[in-house]
Amino acid sequence: MKRSFSKSGFSVFGVVAAVLALAVLVGLAAWSLMDKKANEVNYSNYDFNNIIYGNEDNGGIGDHVKGDKNAPVVIVEYADFQCPGCASVNPRVNKLVEEYKGKLAVVYRNYLLSYHQNGTAAASAAEAAGLQGYWKEYTDMLFANQSNWEDIEADEREMTFSSLFEGVSDGQGDVDKFKADMKSKEVSKKISFDMGIGKKVDLPGTPAFYLDGEYIDLSSGKTEEDFYNTMRKKIDAKLKAQK
């Protein structure tokens, strides 16, 4: 059987491989740039275990928080929108926040994995949506639809993420602003800032959860109920200690 070649003499498979390789290189370049920006920040000025508000280092974009910002228990989550494990625990986190209403705040910070070709773009989209007040709705939508965007090419990303934004904002959001914010220096600084904290904390992977600087080990849990039991034990102990 004859192999199929393009007019230029390259195989179709070769072209596909080249495109994929380029996508990975572009992603690594963006990741490297964020890493460089993170190295310019003096992280000794920050308490990683509590909410960090907008400032010059994070582009004026503070931590995103699920639950009550004044809650007695603050758990910090580090995650990547293209991480399958992060997508699976997202509804569980939402359930815990509702269960401990007024008592639990979950801080979300971006920690991008370099081999996820669309992780950076997804984080940028979430931050852009947040600038118009739709961060939680948008992140829930990103995680729920992860399989629909994780492998798309760069030319499809803006259209896909913009469509998701129109959906969560019920057509009330400013799509042009959303697109511009995705590429803004403020959003880039926010993601770089989060990444820098993740490196200082020395994360074992994603998703990773911390309470008072202590890593919450969920590796032994095999079921959804194991996740809830471990987290409830930590939260209840913290609440009891404050009485």
Which of 169, 182, 204 shows the shortest CA–CA distance to 122?
182
Given a cut of 60, whether residue 130 has pLDDT beyond it is yes
Q: What is the pLDDT at residue 174?
A: 98
Which residue is listed with tokens 């403020």? 186
Report the alpha-carbon distance of residue 192 to residue 197 in Å, rounded: 9
Task: Give the burial string for 23-59 (b: 16+ CB within 10 Å, else e).
Answer: beeebeebbeebeebbeebeeeebeebebbeeeebbb
- Residue ranges per structural domain of the chain: 12-241
Q: What is the pLDDT at residue 2?
A: 33
Given a cut of 70, whether residue 157 has pLDDT beyond it is yes
Q: Are 193 and 54 in contact (CB under 8 A)?
A: no
Given a cut of 50, whether residue 186 has pLDDT beyond it is yes
Given a cut of 90, whether residue 129 has pLDDT beyond it is yes
**The model's pTM:** 0.84
Q: How far apart are the first and last CA of the chain?
A: 77
For range 120-133, the mean pLDDT: 98
What CATH number was assigned to the domain covering residues 12-241? Answer: 3.40.30.10
DSSP 145-203: THHHHTT--HHHHHHHHHHHHHHHTTT-S-HHHHHHHHT-HHHHHHHHHHHHHHHHHT-
Rounded percentage of the chain residues whose pLDDT exceeds 90: 79
What are the tens digits of pLDDT across the range 78-111? 999 999 999 999 999 999 999 999 999 999 999 9
Q: What is the pLDDT at residue 222?
A: 82
Q: Place 37 in a pLDDT band, splitting at 50, 70 and 90.
A: low
Lowest-confidence range among 8-12, 99-103, 152-156?
8-12
Given a cut of 50, whether residue 142 has pLDDT beyond it is yes
Query: Which amino acid, one-letter code, is at 79?
Result: A
Q: Place 155 in a pLDDT band, splitting at 50, 70 and 90.
A: confident
